[in-house]
Amino acid sequence: MNGPQIIIFALLLILVISGIFIVRQQTIAIVERFGKFHSVRRPGFHLRIPIVDRIAAKVNLRIQQLDVMVETKTKDDVFVRIKVSVQYLVLPDSVYDAYYKLESPHDQITSYVFDVVRAEVPKLRLDDVFEKKDDIAIAIKRELEEAMNTYGYGIIKALVTDIDPDEEVKNAMNRINAAERIKTAAEYEGEAERIRIVAKATAEAESKRLQGQGIADQRREIAKGLEESVEVLNKVGINSQEASALIVITQHYDTLHGISENTKSNLILLPNSPNAASDMLNQMVASFSASNEIGKMQREDDEDKSR
């Protein structure tokens, strides 16, 4: 094989090799013939006519994400920066539209995101923006789907991933939140203190009631004992007045005897006149009568409450 033949063979080999191309997975190749759209080639091994056909572009079919940062103002005049993440892809059946109808999909998506965010956020107060960020995302996705499907793009998801107000506004919101929590804690502490005071007062009232009832019962038992002692003395010929005086004097001396057993006790000497025992008896009788009357009134109150 001489020199010219070798050259011709090399040129033919180059043309054959240049006519072979491979399209990778999740990619579609657009082939143009003499500058005009000819066909789309899906993943795999393909041939083309060298010089006549050319691969105009290879379109990626994988899901892509575009992050858009939008600055806008809320209804209560707070400027916020909102980050929106849009996930999109080229529809496999609309590759022609995606390549030939839209030159810059990023710019188109960004414009629609700006338009929707600046239409929705000014209707809301700052607190509502945080609460309704999903509604904003849904509005963005709806608007993008209507517009981008025409150009061969599908919108998978639109997410509001960040809401960033001014630093001073965030500090103010934190102070408001802290003050609200302190107020709530103070209310709970006040309620707990009120419950403690009411419970303590109720317990003290019940204690006083039981103490008074106990004293009244004690005095009634003492009165019953004295009554029995008087009956015993009457049986041996001592009348009630003498018996009562005798009992008083006996208790008087029993008390003195009890005091004398404790060296640290203070002794109080009562008047020792002939009428002393009688006066003491009259005072005790009056005290017992009053105790009985109090006990009777207490029992009547208890019966009324039980009804």
pLDDT of residue 110: 93
Q: What integer pLDDT is reported at residue 258 of this predicted model? A: 66
* Residues linked to residue 54 through DSSP beta bridges, in sequence order: 32
| Among 92, 33, 31, residue whose Cα is nearest residue 58 | 31
How far is 38 from 31, CA to CA, in rounded Å?
6
**The domain 64-165: what is its CATH number?**
3.30.479.30
Res 237: pLDDT: 66
Check residue 114 and give its pLDDT: 93
Q: Which residues contact 45 (CB under 8 A, 6 or more apart)?
A: 20, 22
Range 298-304, long-range pairs (CB < 8 A, 24+ positions) = 298/212, 298/213, 298/216
How confident is the model at residue 298, as a pLDDT? Answer: 65
Q: What is the pLDDT of residue 6?
A: 78
The pLDDT of residue 41: 92
In this structure, what token pair is assigned to residue 289?
């009568």
B/e letters for 61-99, b = 16+ CB within 10 Å, e = fewer, are beeeeeebebebebeeebebebebbbebbbbeebbebbb
- Give residue 29's pLDDT: 93
Comma-separated ranges of CATH 3.30.479.30 domains in the chain: 64-165
Contact 72, 117 (CB under 8 A): yes
Low-confidence ranges of the chain (pLDDT < 50): none
The alpha carbon of 27 is separated from its chain's Cα centroid by a whole number of angstroms, namely: 49
